[in-house]
Every structure is written in structure tokens, then in C-alpha cells.
Amino acid sequence: MLLFNPVKVGLIGCGSASGAYLSRLKKFEILELYACADIEIYRAEAKAEQYKIPRVYTEDELLQDKKIQVVLNLTPPRVHARINLAAVQTGKHLYSDKPLTLTREEAQALLTEARERRLLVGCAPDTFLGGGIQTCRKLIDDGVIGQPIAATAFMACAGHENWHRAPERYYQPGGGPMLDMGPYYLTTLVYLMGPIVRVCGSARASFPERIITTENRRGTRIPVQVPTHYSGILDFSSGAIGTVIQSFDMPFHHLSHIEIYGTKGTISVPDPNSYDGPVQIRLSAAADWEDVNLSHSKDMGRGIGLADMAYAITHDRPHRANGELAFHVLDVMLAFEESSQSGRHVIVESSCVRPAPLPLGLAPGELDF
């Protein structure tokens, strides 16, 4: 039973991403879904009815309601900067979908404003708080694979035109595989390996246009305005080296999601866009890979990062999916294309503290004892 009032949350953006959050948030007693808003009012009304959210607002009405403590922004990336800054300027804590913004300047302005107002900023992804990646972090922290010396992170697929009902935005500024899927992979690498200090990358748009193959829009052509294939090298502050591919141009492959290579063995990390396993390990003397039982709960999902931030608000402690981590990941992602264009390594000016692991033995819906 809570010994304090739940944190009131106002949701802006009731599109397809919102269902994954709304279906999970009520599992956390620390959160109260107080209101929702969308540019299309019918979508907000539908979500309010489905998830029993008591108030449907316009964006401005939601931002002006002083009872709302946290804005959950699930709008498209192109409007993140505007809505995120507006939320903070109206005195509200913020939890944003990824990426935090589309430029470093926008992100810096947001974080500066939040610091001056003593407000918290959080940002997806929070998948690193799931049992799968938490287990990998414990293996590394316990020294099971020795000192990590290298990592790989691969996300490759055929592109959103083959399945998404509205794939255009994935080929416009703010889209592409790096800003769309890169946050999952790079956040996981930073969480497991520490901050990144240098990037070398190549990026290209392999096709000038994409053709939608879904039945309702088959044959519609999409002009490509962003790179759709990134390949590069990461230098971590620890001295470890990472190899990264993020691509919408590779429909068939046998690549792993993420692997961490240490002086005593290797960890196969599960899909960083999920919250559970499988986790596998192979030590130097082992004859084969071994499945690892998850050390942390499987009962996690979208919104655990928001719940963790709500605990931070009420308990006055750091939160894990925080703005500094999100800014560092954005800084690294932007460096890939900059390196490709300049033909040089890019020094990553930002850094962050590796978020603390979750405690062992948490009950479902709990993040603090």
C-alpha cells in the first residue's frame, strides 16, 4: 500500500504507441492516469474510454492543468522538441518517447530549462530495465565475463513500408533506422558498457524511394530523405570498442542483436526492444552456450521508466531512464552521419552516469522497497 499520493500523469499523443504504455501503467500504483490529449480529439476520446482515463483535453488544456505533475509525450519525433519544452515551461516533469529531440541544441535547451526549474526529464527507451538486460548487467557487474573489451549491436530489417500502415515518417527527417531503432541499441550499450567518447561511421540512403507493399496502399511511393543504412565504430570511455549496424536495407541476415565480449567469455544480449530474454553466456572453458535464468522480474513493459521517475519525484532519488542518458545517446546517434559526411572520427562531447541496476527481488509493480 502506498504511503503517498500517486503521481498524476497527463498523456499527449494517443496514437499507435500509446496502447503499449496505457495497458501497463495501471500496474504501477505510483502512477495515476489523469488526462489525455491528441491533435485528433477522437483518438483521445477512444483511449480515455478504453483505459478509463477521466479527462480528455486539448494539448493546451492539459499543459495548463496545474494538478498534472508529469507529461507523458508520445507524439511523433518531429514535434518532441516543442511539446517537451512547453511541458517543462508550464512547470511539469516530462517523460518523452524517443528520441528526446532531433537536435543537440533542442535537447540542451530542454535540459537547461528543466534544471533551472528543478524538474525531472525522462525519456524512452526503458527496455534496459526489463529482466533480460538487467540480468546481463548483473553478469557484467559480477565479473562473470571478465573485463568487457568489445561489443556488437545489429538491427537490420527490410523497412517499414512492408508492414506499417503509415510508413512515410520513417523516411523523413527524424526517421531512419538510427533515430528510430538506434535508441534501443545504444541505450543498452551505454547501460552495460558505459559512455561513448568517439564515433566513426558511414551512412547512406540505398534507395531513392520506397514502395509500400501493404494491401490498402500497395504501390504508393515514398521519397527517402534520410540515410537508411548506418555502419560504424564506437569507442567507449572504458577502452572497449563497439561495432554497430542499423539498417532498413537488409531483409535477410543471421546477425545477433547485441553481444558483449569479455576477457573470460561472451554474453548474448536479448532484443533491446523487449523486456525479457533469452540471455545466453559462453565462458572460455565452456563447450557451448548456456541459457541464463533471469535475475530480475519478467513482468515489465512500456512505462517502467516513467514509474521509476515517479518514484524519483516522491522519494527524491535519481531515476534511470533520465534526460542525461537520452541526450548522450542522441549525441552519439547524430555523430554517425556527421562522421560519414566529414570522413573523420567525431568526438562525443557529452557523457552520462551509467544508471544504477534495479534491486533484486522486486514484486510486480514495485521499483522501491
- Tens of pLDDT, residue by residue over 304-346, are 999 999 999 999 999 999 999 999 999 999 999 999 999 999 9
Tens-place pLDDT, residues 246-274: 999 999 999 999 999 999 999 999 999 99
**pLDDT for the residue 2:** 58
Looking at 9-163, list the stretches that DSSP marks H as alpha helix, in order from N- to C-terminal side: 18-25, 41-51, 59-64, 80-89, 104-117, 131-141
The Cβ of residue 209 has, within 10 Å, a number of other Cβ atoms equal to 11
What value does the mean pLDDT take over residues 263-286?
95
**pLDDT for the residue 369:** 60
What value does the mean pLDDT take over residues 162-178?
92
Residues ≥6 apart with Cβ < 8 Å to 326: 96, 98, 99, 100, 107, 121, 122, 123, 183, 187
**pLDDT for the residue 277:** 87
Domain segments of the chain: what residues? 7-123, 129-292
When pLDDT is cut at 50, 70 and 90, the band that residue 228 belongs to is very high
**pLDDT for the residue 1:** 53
The string of DSSP letters for 265-304 reads EEEEEPPTTSSS--EEEEETT-SS-EEE--SS-S---TTH
**pLDDT for the residue 26:** 86
Contact 105, 131 (CB under 8 A): no
CATH of 7-123, one of 3.40.50.720, 3.30.360.10, 3.40.50.150, 3.40.50.300: 3.40.50.720
CATH of 129-292, one of 3.50.50.60, 3.40.50.300, 3.40.50.970, 3.30.360.10: 3.30.360.10
Q: What is the mean pLDDT of the chain?
A: 95
Tens-place pLDDT, residues 83-109: 999 999 999 999 999 999 999 999 999
**pLDDT for the residue 63:** 98
**pLDDT for the residue 301:** 85
Residues ≥6 apart with Cβ < 8 Å to 84: 73, 94, 96, 100, 101, 110, 121
What whole-number percentage of the chain has pLDDT above 70? 99
Task: Enter the pTM of the model.
Answer: 0.96
What value does the mean pLDDT take over residues 151-166?
93
**pLDDT for the residue 81:** 97
Rounded Cα distance between 133 and 318, Å, is: 19
**pLDDT for the residue 310:** 97
**pLDDT for the residue 3:** 63
Closest CA relative to residue 118, chosen from 347, 312, 367: 312
Tens-place pLDDT, residues 14-71: 998 899 999 999 889 999 999 999 999 999 999 999 999 999 999 999 999 999 999 9
Res. 294: pLDDT tops 90: yes
**pLDDT for the residue 78:** 94
When pLDDT is cut at 50, 70 and 90, the band that residue 362 belongs to is confident
Beta bridge partners of 32: 8
Handedness of CA 246, 140, 304, 365 (dihedral sign): positive
What value does the mean pLDDT take over residues 242-247?
98
